[in-house]
Amino acid sequence: MVDVLQKGENISLSKFIPALSEIIIVIKWTKKLNNETEFDIDTSAFMLTEQNKVRSDTDFIFYNQPTATNNAIIFKNNLFKISLNAIDKDINKISFVLTLHDAKQKQQHFGLLEKITIEVFNFSDKQKLISYCLTDINTETAIIVGVLYRSNAEWKFRAMGQGYNNGLAVLAKNFGVDIESSEQQNQITPIANNKKTDSTVKSTIENKQEHPTKKPLPPPQKKSNTNPPAPQKTPDLDIHNTDMMTKIDHYAPIVGWLKQRNFQAEVNEAAMDTSGFFDEIAIELGDNYELLKRVVDTIKRRQQGKYDKAYIDLSRDEPKNIETIKKFCKQLYEYAFVAKYFYNSKDKKAVLQLQAATKIINFFNGEWLEWYAVMKIAELCHQRKIKFSCTRNMIIYLSDDNNRYEIDVFFLINDQPLFIECKSGEYREFIDKYTKLRRKLFIPKAQFLMLTSGVDEERVKGLTAMFDISFVNETMLIEHIIDIFVKKKPIAIENNHNEQLKIQPLALKNTKSKPSKNQAPEAQKPLLLKPLETKKTYSNNTKNSYTKPSQVSRNNISKPKSSRKFFVFISIFLSISFLYFLWAFNIEGW
pLDDT of residue 561: 52
pLDDT of residue 545: 43
pLDDT of residue 465: 95
Could you give the CA distance from residue 361 to residue 398 in angstroms, rounded to a whole number? 31
DSSP for 160-185, written as a single string: EEEEESSHHHHHHHHTT-----HHHH
3-state secondary structure of 99: strand
β-bridge partners, 119: 26, 131
pLDDT of residue 429: 93
Question: Are the C-beta atoms of residues 64 and 240 closer than 8 Å to each other?
Answer: no
Query: Beta-carbon neighbour count of residue 518 at 10 Å?
Result: 6
Phi and psi at residue 210, in whole multiples of 5°?
Answer: -65, -45
CATH topology of domain 244-251+258-267+376-486: Trna Endonuclease; Chain: A, domain 1 (3.40.1350)
DSSP state of 527: P
3-state secondary structure of 370: helix
Could you give the CA distance from residue 238 to residue 286 in angstroms, rounded to a whole number? 20
Question: Are the C-beta atoms of residues 390 and 410 closer than 8 Å to each other?
Answer: yes
Pair type for strands 470-472 and 448-452: parallel
Please, which residues have CB within 8 angstroms of residue 440's CB and are 6 or more apart in sequence?
Answer: 261, 398
pTM of the model: 0.51
What are the pLDDT digits (tens) for 326-372? 999 998 998 889 999 999 988 899 999 999 889 999 999 999 999 99
pLDDT of residue 494: 54
Lay out the sheet containing 388-398: strands in order across: 263-266, 388-398, 404-413, 416-423, 448-452, 470-472
Pair type for strands 309-313 and 349-354: antiparallel
Is CATH 3.40.50 the classification given to domain 275-362? no
* HSE toward the beta carbon, residue 12, CA cutoff 13 A: 9
Where are the CATH 2.60.60.30 domain residues in the chain? 3-214
Give the amino acid at 95.
Answer: S
Residue 204 parent element (H or E)? none
Question: Are the C-beta atoms of residues 456 and 290 closer than 8 Å to each other?
Answer: no
Question: Are the C-beta atoms of residues 345 and 92 closer than 8 Å to each other?
Answer: no
Pair type for strands 309-313 and 41-48: unpaired
Query: Beta-carbon neighbour count of residue 400 at 10 Å?
Result: 6
Give the amino acid at 430.
Answer: F
Q: What is the mean pLDDT of each run of 10 residues along the chain (590 residues)?
A: 86 88 92 80 92 90 88 89 93 93 81 90 90 87 92 89 80 78 38 37 36 40 40 52 84 94 91 86 93 94 92 93 93 90 91 92 94 94 91 90 89 95 93 94 95 94 95 94 84 49 41 45 44 44 43 47 66 76 59
* HSE toward the beta carbon, residue 62, CA cutoff 13 A: 23
Where are the CATH 3.30.1370 domain residues in the chain? 275-362
In angstroms, what CA-CA distances link 223 with 171, 172, 178? 19, 17, 12
For the chain, the straight-line distance linking the first and the last C-alpha, in angstroms and rounded, comes to 115
What are the pLDDT digits (tens) for 489-512? 765 545 444 444 443 443 434 444
Could you give the CA distance from residue 67 to residue 64 in angstroms, rounded to a whole number? 9
Among 259, 257, 258, 261, smallest CA distance to 496 is for 261
CATH superfamily ID and name for 3-214: sav2460 like domains (2.60.60.30)
Question: Are the C-beta atoms of residues 60 and 46 closer than 8 Å to each other?
Answer: yes
